[in-house]
Amino acid sequence: MPWCPICKNEYVEGRTHCPDCDADLVDLLPEETIEQSVPLPDEEELADIAARTVAASQMNTHIPAKDRHADLRSSALTFLFVGGIGFLVITLALIGVITLPLTLFSLAIMEVVFVIFIIIAVTSFKKAMSILDDISKESDLEARIQEWAKTNLSAAELSALPEEDTPEEMRYFIITEAIRKKLMLDFPELDDAYAESLTESLYNELY
């Protein structure tokens, strides 16, 4: 397995660069330098961690697949309901069954608009169905991460990482950064936004 010569983190086969230290990975480290624990960040790293955490909280880019599915399904139902009712009413007006205070041209335009609503509804339903597989994959991944957390994350060990006189807000950043690094090391398929979201969730479960 390749190792980072600076932070001493171990990476999966195929990785050649450490994104945290911006350093090329090496195949071996002296035996005494290999550590399982996550090294404590210095002041500059803490500032970077704090900035990234604040930015992530202000711009939550990861939306769970089940939420995306629910949003698309809700939008589809809304467009289908409005489009269907509107199309029916305008069609009845066009064939003379009911009378509306609109010109023929206006009725025709509205008919087109409601047809577009129905098309949007159908498209949204298709997109929602395509996300069902993502929901299953996400659920399986999160179940594996929950099992991993039971054996790899300990509130007592994480709480011991910051020094005793570390301010409370800095303790949070140090602990969440340790969780994130462990998570990314064992689950390299996670993107940054998803990792940040899972890190926050795991921290809340531990504390």
The per-residue pLDDT for 34 is: 38
The answer to whether residue 1 scores a pLDDT higher than 80 is no
The per-residue pLDDT for 32 is: 42
Instruction: Tell which residue, 34, 37, 8, has the closest CA to residue 21.
Output: 8
Alpha-helical (H) ranges within 32-167 are 43-58, 65-94, 104-130, 132-152, 155-159
pTM: 0.54
Q: Name residue 74's amino acid.
A: S
Span 153-166, mean pLDDT?
83
Q: What is the mean pLDDT of the chain?
A: 83
In 10 A of CB 186, how many CB atoms?
A: 14
The answer to whether residue 37 scores a pLDDT higher than 50 is no
Structure-block tokens of residue 7: 């932070």
Span 159-188, mean pLDDT?
85
Percent of the chain whose predicted confidence (pLDDT) is above 70: 84
The answer to whether residue 158 scores a pLDDT higher than 80 is yes
Give, in order, the Cα–Cα distances in Å from 148 to each of 42, 95, 178, 192. 27, 65, 15, 19
The answer to whether residue 100 scores a pLDDT higher than 70 is yes
* Residue whose entry in the numeric block shows the structure tokens 């269907």: 84
Span 139-144, mean pLDDT?
92
Q: What tens digit of pLDDT does each residue of 50-98 get?
A: 565 555 554 557 788 889 999 999 999 999 999 999 999 999 999 989 9
Instruction: Tell which residue, 57, 62, 58, 79, has the closest CA to residue 134.
Output: 62
Q: Is 68 exposed, middle or buried (0-12, 13-18, 19+ CB in 10 A)?
A: middle
| CB-based burial, 10-33: b 16+ in 10 Å, e otherwise | bbeeeeeebebeeeebeeeeeeee
The answer to whether residue 46 scores a pLDDT higher than 50 is yes
Could you tell me which residues come within 8 angstroms of residue 33 by beta carbon, excluding any fewer than 6 positions away?
Answer: 8
Span 141-150, mean pLDDT?
91
Torsion angle, alpha carbons of 172, 178, 181, 186, to 10: -120
Give, in order, the Cα–Cα distances in Å from 100 to each of 71, 92, 95, 108, 109. 34, 10, 11, 12, 14
The per-residue pLDDT for 26 is: 83
CA atoms within 13 A on the CB side of 157: 13
The per-residue pLDDT for 36 is: 44
Q: Name residue 24's amino acid.
A: D
Could you tell me which residues come within 8 angstroms of residue 18 by beta carbon, excluding any fewer than 6 positions away?
Answer: 4, 6, 7, 9, 11, 24, 25
- Backbone torsions φ then ψ of 24, nearest 5 degrees: -75, 140
Q: What tens digit of pLDDT does each residue of 10-26 get?
A: 777 777 878 777 778 78
The per-residue pLDDT for 47 is: 59
